């Protein structure tokens, strides 16, 4: 089915988007149908509705590697690095006056009235990688989710963070270019599973916070960012077990329930949650897996991908960053041309932690 720009604009209005709205959009373009004019038509439709007094923001997330496999050849540069969040954000990045924040992993792009405010300070030094969503809430902005099965990408992590669920020491990293043009390492502690988050949505609809509708053929939702973050935070704070998925091998959930000792409050615990021996076995397995995310190794083809640094993250992130800087100062800046196989694979876990 062919969907035109005007139809998208009219659907956006029916859902509640208005002139002057500030809106963050997470979407699957193809779920809308065959959009005549592609990503540009979608962007134009949003801009037509919100007008010059409104703002459009989208995630332009980029790669992260387990700490033991940082690829020294992949260097994030906000000017050029293509995001993995899809064709619409990459298209928005190219628009005149669009501003992309400098965060080496969780950057966003914004266009419109509050574009500068939303992206300002969102760089390698920021404490909270979801800062643009905190600011979106401050501007009375909205969160629009199109065709991705109620996965409130990014904004849900701000709620999980506020609910105190960022407790698993799983570190990922990436090289990036700073404002001075120097290549530096960046490390992120951010490990949380979001598989069960869409299950909160029916309750949020009932509370009147999330409004459901359609954009083209895609099931979509629109919510005020501030109320959405607050409501999700209070649901998760009252009952952190709502965050737990039922996969025995989910490192994030199994470590979360162990570290917060949630076992007694899980409503229908699985065997691996009831049985002490099974818990111990899972704990041991996760301890081994977490090592990949606790030791730093920057792969460099000159050294055949052999580890050139190993440190435990428990010593603290500033120490780690300093250590990697020193190592790269010695060997990383003029590395060989060919990439090592071990460093090329993108960790799906790392991506999952930032969706």
**Interaction site with Zn ion (CB under 5 A):** 193, 245, 250, 253
Alpha-carbon torsion (18, 211, 161, 187), positive or negative: negative
Q: Least CB distance from residue 127 to Zn ion, whole Å?
A: 25
Which CB atom, from 68 or from 243, has the smaller least distance to Zn ion?
243
Which CB atom, from 87 or from 245, has the smaller least distance to Zn ion?
245
Which CB atom, from 75 or from 195, has the smaller least distance to Zn ion?
195
Residue 35: its H or E element: strand 34-35
Which CB atom, from 87 or from 242, has the smaller least distance to Zn ion?
242
Q: Least CB distance from residue 253 to Zn ion, whole Å?
A: 3
Q: Give yes or no for a contact between 28 and 143, defined as CB atoms under 8 angstroms apart.
A: no
Q: Least CB distance from residue 133 to Zn ion, whole Å?
A: 22
Q: Least CB distance from residue 285 to Zn ion, whole Å?
A: 15
Q: Least CB distance from residue 94 to Zn ion, whole Å?
A: 36
Which CB atom, from 46 or from 193, has the smaller least distance to Zn ion?
193
Q: Least CB distance from residue 252 to Zn ion, whole Å?
A: 5
CA distance 153 to 196: 12
Q: Give yes or no for a contact between 43 and 88, defined as CB atoms under 8 angstroms apart.
A: yes
Residue nearest to Zn ion (CB): 193
Cα separations (Å) of 61 from 17, 104, 108? 25, 8, 7
For tokens 């081994």, name the residue.
Answer: 288
Q: Which of 142, 167, 141 is nearest to 256 (CA)?
A: 167
CA distance 246 to 25: 29
For tokens 């099974």, name the residue.
Answer: 278
Q: Give yes or no for a contact between 170 and 291, defined as CB atoms under 8 angstroms apart.
A: no
CA distance 17 to 25: 11
Which CB atom, from 193 or from 209, has the smaller least distance to Zn ion?
193
């Amino acid at each position: 089915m062919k969907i035109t720009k005007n139809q998208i604009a009219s659907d956006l209005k029916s859902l509640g988007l208005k002139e002057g709205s500030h809106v963050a959009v997470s979407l699957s373009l193809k779920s809308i149908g065959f959009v005549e004019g592609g990503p540009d038509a979608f962007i134009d439709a949003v801009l037509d509705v919100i007008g010059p007094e409104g703002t459009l923001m989208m995630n332009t997330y980029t790669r992260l590697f387990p700490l033991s496999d940082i690829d020294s050849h992949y260097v994030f540069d906000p000017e050029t690095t293509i995001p993995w969040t899809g064709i619409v954000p990459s298209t928005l990045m190219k628009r005149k006056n669009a501003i992309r924040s400098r965060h080496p992993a969780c950057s966003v792009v914004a266009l419109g009235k509050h574009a500068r405010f939303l992206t300002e300070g969102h760089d390698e030094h920021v404490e909270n990688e979801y800062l643009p969503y905190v600011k979106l809430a401050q501007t009375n902005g909205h969160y629009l989710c199109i065709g991705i099965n109620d996965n409130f990408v990014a904004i849900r992590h701000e709620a999980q963070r506020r609910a105190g669920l960022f407790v698993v020491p799983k570190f990922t990293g990436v090289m990036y270019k700073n404002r001075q043009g120097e290549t530096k390492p960046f490390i992120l502690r951010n490990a949380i599973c979001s598989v069960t988050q869409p299950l909160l949505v029916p309750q949020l609809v009932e509370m009147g916070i999330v409004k459901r509708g359609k954009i083209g053929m895609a099931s979509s939702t629109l919510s005020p960012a501030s109320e959405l973050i607050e409501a999700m935070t209070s649901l998760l704070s009252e009952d952190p077990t709502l965050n737990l998925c039922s996969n025995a091998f989910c490192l994030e959930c199994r470590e979360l329930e162990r570290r917060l000792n949630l076992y007694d409050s899980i409503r229908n615990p699985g065997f691996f949650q009831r049985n002490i021996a099974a818990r111990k076995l899972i704990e041991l397995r996760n301890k081994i897996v977490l090592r990949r995310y606790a030791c730093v190794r920057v792969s460099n083809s000159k050294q055949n991908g052999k580890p050139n640094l190993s440190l435990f993250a428990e010593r603290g992130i500033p120490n780690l960053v300093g250590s990697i800087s020193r190592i790269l100062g010695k060997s990383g800046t003029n590395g060989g041309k060919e990439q090592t196989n071990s460093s090329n694979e993108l960790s799906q876990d790392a991506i999952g932690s930032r969706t």
